[in-house]
Amino acid sequence: MRKNPSAYLHTLSALDLAFGPTSEVVIVGGKVEKETKNMLKVIRDNYLPRVSLLLKHSEELDQLSNLTKDLKSIDGRTTAYVCSKGACHKPITDATELLKTVDPC
């Protein structure tokens, strides 16, 4: 640790990620849509080290993985899917609600 003190902080971050609760967020919407940009902004503008984020902006992602195959936008709106602790929340179409779900503090 004396040779590389920042390694200590990275080790603590890795332990926090390994043992702390994590969330996976999939945002389904077009890259240039205002609602999509708002949802991405609330995730990116907050320190959420335990949140993994994936943007599904086309069906091409479904060809790479079956994980997002059933995730669709609701009523044509950008929709976020948040899963944690082995369960998924109901789909979210509001950026403020998304932040409350992933960062309840």
Which pLDDT value is given to residue 100?
Answer: 94
| Between 17 and 27, residue with greater pLDDT | 27
Which pLDDT value is given to residue 1?
Answer: 66
Length of the chain: 105
Percent of the chain scoring above 90 in pLDDT:
55
Query: Is residue 62's pLDDT more than 80?
Result: no
Q: What confidence tens digit (pLDDT) does each residue in 70-84 have? A: 899 999 999 999 999
Q: What is the pTM of this model?
A: 0.84
Domains of the chain (ranges plus CATH)? 21-102 (3.40.30.10)
